[in-house]
Amino acid sequence: MEHKGTQTIETERLILRRFELSDAQNMFDNYCGKEKVTEFLSWDAHKTVEDTKSYLTDVVLPNYDFINTYCWAIVWKETNQVIGCIDVCVKDERKRCAELGWVIGDEYWGRGIMPEAARSVLKYLFAVGYERIQATHNIANKKSGRVMEKIGMQCEGIHKKFSMFKNDTLIDCYLWAITK
């Protein structure tokens, strides 16, 4: 593995870059503060922009000190606003496997933005040395599964009672993966 950390990636419509504390308001307005967006995620919508700032300060920003951290803010070039996030949420370097997670504001759904971001991240992570990239989604979240399909991942099956969900309830998830 030749870790490079979170470096800026540019696509036709997006800039994928490290988060900054100044992104908190965009994050809160576009996705972190929206119940509709977090419905199928393992975390609840933030109540205030201060919650988002705390998340950045306590979790995201300190992890950039590690060369094997991959966490990108998704910036919409048209407005220069942070509209989402894509990151490696789980990694097993011995097996050269990484698991992606993502979220994007509902106003940006259905525009092919997440597949555009994810394809770029796949290319980047394969260049780093990962051999397998996977992702999971709540079986009820078909839109996330459609993104996985669009980027070339194959559905490998259902993980029963796989992960924590809202209110400490274990849920069934589809597992998707692509190999180098």
DSSP 60-77: IHHHTTSTT--EEEEEET
Specify if 34 maps to a domain: yes
- Whether the pLDDT of residue 164 is over 80: the answer is no
Which tens digits make up the pLDDT trace of 128-142?
A: 999 999 999 988 899
Q: Are 132 and 178 in contact (CB under 8 A)?
A: yes
Confidence at residue 100, expressed as pLDDT on a 0 to 100 scale: 96
Opening angle at CA 162, ends 161 and 163, nearest 5:
110
Specify if 2 maps to a domain: no
Specify if 90 maps to a domain: yes
Confidence at residue 32, expressed as pLDDT on a 0 to 100 scale: 97
Nearest of 81, 68, 87 to residue 31 by alpha carbon: 81
Q: Which structural domain, as residue segments, surrounds residue 103?
A: 9-179
The CATH number that applies at residue 78 is: 3.40.630.30
Opening angle at CA 85, ends 84 and 87, nearest 5:
165
Domain count, the chain: 1
Confidence at residue 165, expressed as pLDDT on a 0 to 100 scale: 67
